[in-house]
Structure 1
Amino acid sequence: NFGVKFISMGLLVDEESPIIWRGPMVMKTIQQFAENVEWGELDFLLIDLPPGTGDAQLSLAQILPLDGAIIV
C-alpha cells in the first residue's frame, strides 16, 4: 500500500448500485469522510470528485482548511 490511505464510496455500497446524490447528502458524506476518517498526518490529500453541479467542491471548500488546490 506504500503508505497511501484512501476512502471511497465504492467500498461502502454494492458495485452494481449507482450513487445519485445531491446537495445535503453529498455535504454529509464529505463531512463524514473529512472528519471521521483517521487520516493521521498527511503531506497532501488527493480527492477525486464526481462531475456535476459543484456541490461536492463547495462542500469541500467549506469543510477543509485548504493551503492550495490543483484542479484537473
Structure 2
Amino acid sequence: MARRIKEIAKDNWQVIFSHTLREGKRVADALPNHGHRVHLDIVMFDNPPSWFSDLYQDDLSDLGLSRLVPTSFI
C-alpha cells in the first residue's frame, strides 16, 4: 500500500503528507472498527449513526484524546 501511495505521489501533483494520531481523528478510527464488528463487506449509512455525532463534534473541535507516553521516553 505504501508503495502505491508513493507511485501516485510521483505524478505531476503537489502532494503534502501529514500524519495524525488516531486520537486526533476519532471518526476515521471508529468507522473501520465498526465495519469489523458487523462482519459485512460493505457498510453504508443513509444518516450518520447515533454513536457518530459525539466523535464528529470532538473532531471538529480538535478535542481529541491524550496519548499515554511511557515515562522512559520523557
TM-score under structure 2 length normalisation = 0.30
TM-score under structure 1 length normalisation = 0.30
Structure with more of its chain in helix, by fraction: 2
Bigger Rg, structure 1 or 2: 2
